[in-house]
């Protein structure tokens, strides 16, 4: 239509669209499309123009004459154009000679133009997808069937040493024979039915292993299947980890000192579980899926446990020193020791470092599940997020808190809402304040040696709106958050050596220790030093009391900064000494319902 005048072209387009919108036209095109999908040949059709009497949707097609007419030489060339037209002829009527190219003998098809698509210099034909090899394996790529038989033969040699089955304590060699880490033994034992009888026989294990390897083909999918064997789910919840971690507590050489303190078994276990979900469960659903586990380092860390005797060298998830710091911080805030924290308790964290507005958001149901209360696992998430704002989960955590309306965007209104309290705090401290507009335009950036506005630091894709992806792409998200709800850390950063800040920013990706690991190490050293000082002071008091028996007991209390016997941790209040978990822990107190305290 390149040579048509514009007006004529518009008219032709109008007629074409009218013809294309007719029901009969759409039906024919739909039938042809189905034939193409099925790989069947298309039959040529005579489609008249929209305005003609033969048009689709108009009068019925004229039936071919029973014999070639002799009046018009031009009509001698007409022949049936499609099988559908031939079906309209009356039985017994004669038809004109068919064109040779329309003959549809058995084994032949109508000639069609070979249609294909060229993509990256590769010709793609219709139906070629059926011949493509599978490239997506959600449960891992299947292995050779002989590998299963080889594994079972190795396991059979171990079972020969046990006449009546293998107990859980002796199941480690079975896990190693399967090519799995040592601490997979408990999930393997449980999935094979060992919890019912106290032992596992060879037929029981063979049935379990064949079922496992036939459906799950990599470590991540097999781990999820084993731990969720009780519920037959394709994801893991927190309760699924308890038997595995209990086995680690009871058998790992680095936790031997903890075996005589069963009261703290569940608290250590629930700390580890909270850290696992914090790092692995990126969907925030409380359910760890196979892809999430596959994208994490948990299985690698679990395998390291059998190689490293010092549990504190395993900084991810299992470090007892990290647990000690977290639990002591929680104990200091939990004034009534009911393993629940409210707003007043959390406001005392780090000498009232957090703003009251962000604390209220923490208890509003944003990052927590129980409105008005924070459980111990939720406190683990809070402390990890507060002390390492560079972690991706921490950025998500604080973004949820600051997103007041839950629209996925931090607007200028929301930023100003949190910043107004920071101005009030600076006024009380006698620090020169900046208006909100000045904060956005004059947020100092020492590592670049010049003044930057807050929005330029984050570089949001949409002006005036800060999204989660903007903060994750920004290496200075921790400054952004501290500016709006943690004045102490913001001022600490402002007073840092600019060259040290520049080095931290440059080496942030290769730094061996994270902010959380540095914080945990510093706090642990302080707690141990404090405990040592307390022990020396108590020993000194005992010596003085022996030398001077006339010294009043009240004076001894005053020297210790205590008021009564309860403060000494005697009797039922002995639990007020969380640091005693390092050595003997409390012998007089036993929480029979300790597991339920975390839910």
Q: Are 235 and 287 in contact (CB under 8 A)?
A: yes
The reply to whether domains 143-215 and 231-318 share a CATH topology is yes
According to CATH, the topology of domain 327-517 is Recoverin; domain 1 (1.10.238)
- Per-residue buried b or exposed e for 421-432, using 16+ beta carbons within 10 Å of the residue's own CB: bbbebbeeeeee
CATH number of 143-215: 1.10.238.230
Tokens read off for 476: 């200075």
CATH number of 231-318: 1.10.238.220
Statement: the pTM of the whole predicted model exceeds 0.75: no
Hey, which residues does 314 pair with through a beta bridge?
none
For the chain, the domains span 143-215, 231-318, 327-517
One digit per residue, the tens of pLDDT, for the chain of length 599 reads 445 556 677 778 888 888 888 888 888 888 888 888 877 877 665 444 444 444 444 444 444 444 444 444 444 344 444 444 444 444 554 555 554 444 444 444 445 555 555 656 666 666 666 566 665 656 666 676 677 788 889 999 999 998 888 998 999 999 999 989 999 999 999 999 888 888 999 999 999 998 888 888 889 999 999 998 777 788 999 999 999 999 999 999 999 998 888 888 999 999 999 999 999 999 999 999 999 999 999 999 999 999 999 999 999 999 999 999 999 999 999 988 888 999 999 999 998 999 999 999 999 876 656 678 899 999 999 999 999 999 999 999 999 999 998 889 998 889 989 989 988 888 888 887 676 766 665 544 443 333 346 777 888 888 878 999 999 998 889 989 998 999 888 888 777 766 665 566 555 555 578 999 999 999 999 999 888 777 766 665 555 544 444 434 444 333 333 344 444 333 344 433 343 333 333 434 444 444 444 43
- Per-residue buried b or exposed e for 88-113, using 16+ beta carbons within 10 Å of the residue's own CB: eeeeeeeebeeeeeeeeeeeeeeeee
Counting DSSP H helices and E strands in the chain, the numbers are: 27, 10
Closest listed residue to residue 321, CA positions, set 575, 525, 583: 525
Q: Which residues contact 446 (CB under 8 A, 6 or more apart)?
A: 494, 496, 498, 501, 502
Q: Distance (Å, rounded) from C-alpha 367 to C-alpha 395?
A: 12
């Amino acid at each position: 239509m390149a040579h048509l005048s514009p007006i004529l072209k518009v008219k032709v387009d109008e007629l074409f669209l009218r013809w294309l919108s007719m029901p009969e036209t759409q039906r024919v095109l739909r039938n042809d499309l189905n034939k193409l999908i099925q790989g069947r040949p298309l039959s040529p059709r005579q489609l008249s123009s929209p305005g003609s009497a033969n048009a689709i949707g108009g009068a019925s097609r004229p039936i071919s004459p029973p014999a070639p007419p002799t009046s018009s030489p031009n009509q001698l060339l007409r022949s049936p154009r499609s099988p559908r037209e031939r079906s309209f002829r009356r039985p017994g009527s004669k038809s004109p000679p068919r064109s040779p190219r329309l003959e549809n003998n058995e084994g032949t098809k109508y000639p069609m133009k070979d249609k294909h698509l060229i993509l990256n210099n590769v010709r793609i034909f219709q139906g070629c997808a059926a011949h493509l090899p599978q490239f997506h394996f959600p449960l891992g790529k299947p292995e050779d069937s002989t590998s299963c038989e080889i594994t079972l033969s190795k396991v059979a040699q171990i079972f020969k040493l046990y006449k009546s089955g293998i107990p859980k304590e002796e199941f480690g060699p079975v896990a190693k024979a399967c090519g799995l880490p040592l601490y997979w033994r408990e999930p393997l034992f449980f999935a094979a039915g060992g919890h019912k009888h106290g032992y596992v026989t060879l037929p029981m294990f063979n049935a379990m292993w064949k079922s496992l390897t036939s459906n799950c083909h990599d470590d991540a999918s097999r781990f999820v299947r084993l731990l969720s064997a009780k519920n037959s789910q394709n994801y893991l919840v927190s309760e699924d980890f308890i038997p595995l971690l209990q086995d680690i507590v009871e058998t790992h050489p680095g936790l031997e000192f903890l075996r005589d303190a069963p009261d703290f078994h569940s608290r250590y276990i629930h700390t580890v579980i909270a850290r696992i979900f914090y790092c692995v469960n990126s969907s925030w659903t409380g359910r760890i899926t196979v892809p999430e586990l596959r994208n994490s380092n948990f299985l690698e860390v679990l395998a390291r446990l059998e190689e490293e005797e010092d549990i504190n060298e395993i900084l991810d998830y299992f470090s007892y020193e990290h647990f000690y710091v977290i639990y002591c911080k929680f104990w200091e805030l939990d004034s009534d020791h009911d393993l629940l924290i409210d707003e007043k308790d959390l406001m005392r964290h780090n000498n009232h470092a957090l703003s009251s507005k962000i604390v209220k958001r923490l208890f509003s149901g944003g990052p927590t599940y129980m409105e008005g209360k924070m459980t111990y696992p939720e406190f683990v998430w809070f402390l990890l997020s507060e002390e390492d704002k560079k972690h991706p989960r921490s950025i998500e955590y604080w973004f949820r808190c600051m997103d007041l309306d839950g629209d996925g965007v931090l607007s200028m209104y929301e930023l100003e809402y949190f910043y107004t309290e920071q101005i009030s705090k600076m006024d009380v401290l006698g620090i020169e304040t900046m208006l909100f507009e000045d904060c956005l335009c004059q947020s100092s950036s020492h590592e670049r040696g010049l003044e930057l506005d807050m929005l330029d630091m984050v570089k949001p894709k949409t002006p005036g709106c800060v999204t989660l992806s903007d903060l994750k792409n920004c290496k200075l998200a921790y400054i952004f958050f501290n500016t709006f709800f943690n004045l102490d850390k913001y001022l600490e950063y402002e007073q840092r050596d600019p060259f040290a800040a520049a080095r931290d920013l440059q080496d942030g990706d290769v730094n061996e220790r994270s902010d959380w690991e540095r914080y945990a190490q510093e706090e642990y050293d302080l707690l141990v030093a404090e405990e040592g000082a307390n022990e020396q002071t108590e020993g000194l008091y005992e010596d003085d009391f022996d030398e001077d028996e006339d010294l009043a007991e009240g004076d001894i209390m005053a020297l210790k900064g205590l008021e009564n016997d309860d403060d000494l941790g005697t009797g039922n209040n002995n639990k007020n000494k969380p640091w005693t978990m390092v050595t003997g822990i409390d012998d007089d107190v036993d929480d029979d319902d300790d597991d339920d305290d975390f839910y």
